[in-house]
Amino acid sequence: METGLFTANNVWMMICTGLVFAMHLGFSFLEIGLTRQKNTVNILFKNVFIICIGLLLYYIGGFNLMYPGFEDGDAGFLKFAGWGIGAPENGMTPDYADGGYTWWTDFLFQGMFAATAATIVSGAVAERIKLGTFMIFVILYVGIVYPIVGSWQWGGGFLSTLSYGEAEGFYDFAGSTLVHSVGGWAALIAIYLLGARIGKFDEDGKVNAIPGHNLPLTAAGVLILWLGWFGFNGGSVLSADPATTSLVLVTTSLAAAAGGVAAFLTSTLLYKNYDLTMFLNGILGGLVGITAGADLMSPNEAVIIGLLAGVIIVLGVALIDKLKLDDPVGAVAVHLICGIWGTLAVGIFGAKAGLDQFLVQLAGVGAAGAFCSVVGFVMLFALKKTMGLRVSKEEEIEGLDMHEHGMDAYADFRMNQH
């Protein structure tokens, strides 16, 4: 491979790494905007902690747990290549990764994905989880669960070789299951064990909306996330291949746009108002939905996947409320439910469509769901019994910013109130 092409591939992958990093800003803005101002510092602290500890954990052992080098005869479920990181002899040459990028770029790009799974949980548990408990959970989940599930597919584990009929291998291009549903399952278990925020549900079962304090920030967060998805999906091509990269960016954008439109139309028909939050979450649902098969779909199929994801978002949010679960940002509907939809869509639309592939996709969803749910429950239940999951009633009412951090995100505003 010529040096110029190798360099171009590597530069594209580094740009994508930066775009995925920017998604953490997007998640932060989204979560802040959809929650109350008294918990803003707490949410920012959690998101900054996630990216810092996520990269360190991936360096310490996560990368080698996710890419352990499974060999013939291995079960393909669990293997560990050792502590720390060090580039192989061919790591800086075109001999590595088919000349798509260098070993160091590979580590950093994959490390950005690792932290995303925990960020999904952060939004779902906002405004009532103990910070110390949350940080311990992030260390355990990002350090152990995410890389193990990732190894099953991207690391050459058993899902990558799972076959049925004419289908050969589970397929998840950029992580509808391996990233988004991994975070979504943990979010679901966490909000079940935590319970709803004070005032979310009346004794007679009525759902009370708890408005976020800054919808402009929420909108900015979603648009930043959409931009970041160009790196999330575009980088998953693992090179700067012109045809595949440009197709992926087109399908990603069309699914996002269709998801947003479908969500706002569905919510308008059901609730008789133009709900901005549903519109924004519909965009995210479309993005999550296309992520598993962005490189396999035609533009028409991407639009259909996005449209259905947008409808799923509205119905998913209503379902979570009906189950008396409190998810302030809609993380379960966006990342878990649309993550499952996007993964199954690979067997319905696109180059791999077919019943055999659909069943393999379903098996992959089930394997990841069972593992994440069981291990996530054990971790969170143990933390609940030892450290406790939830802050006191007084702390929740007065806000986590002052109780957990001793500071205010909007100090001047607070002073002017007194």
DSSP-assigned states of every residue in 56-96: HHIIIIIHHHHS----TT--SS-----SS----TTTTSTTG
Q: What is the pLDDT of residues 201-246, one digit of tens each?
A: 998 878 999 999 999 999 999 999 999 999 999 999 999 999 999 9
Give the residue with greater pLDDT, 272 vs 117.
272
Band (pLDDT 50/70/90 cuts) for residue 2 is: confident
- In the predicted model, is pLDDT for residue 262 greater than 50? yes
DSSP reduced 3-state for 129:
strand
Q: What is the mean pLDDT of residues 385-397?
A: 96
Q: What is the pLDDT of residues 325-384, one digit of tens each?
A: 999 999 999 999 999 999 999 999 999 999 999 999 999 999 999 999 999 999 999 999
Q: What is the pLDDT of residues 297-322, one digit of tens each?
A: 999 999 999 999 999 999 999 999 99
Q: What is the mean pLDDT of residues 29-42?
A: 97
Band (pLDDT 50/70/90 cuts) for residue 1 is: low
Which pLDDT score, from 0 to 100, does residue 411 have? 80
Give me 390's structure tokens: 């939830």
Are 400 and 42 in contact by the 8 Å Cβ rule? The answer is yes
- In the predicted model, is pLDDT for residue 414 greater than 60? no
Average pLDDT across the chain, whole number: 95
Q: 172: closest CA among 296, 68, 331? A: 296
- In the predicted model, is pLDDT for residue 415 greater than 80? no
pTM of the model: 0.96
- In the predicted model, is pLDDT for residue 12 greater than 90? yes
| Alpha-carbon distance values, 61 to 66, 86, 118, 126, 236 (Å) | 9, 12, 17, 28, 22
| Alpha-carbon distance values, 279 to 200, 258, 267 (Å) | 22, 10, 8
Which pLDDT score, from 0 to 100, does residue 351 have? 95
Q: What domains are there in the chain, each with its CATH number? A: 3-68+85-417 (1.10.3430.10)
Residues 6+ apart with CB under 8 A from 75: 158
Which pLDDT score, from 0 to 100, does residue 417 have? 47
* Residue 163: strand pairing partners: 168
- CA trace torsion 224, 27, 318, 176 (10° rounding): 80
Are 191 and 327 in contact by the 8 Å Cβ rule? The answer is yes
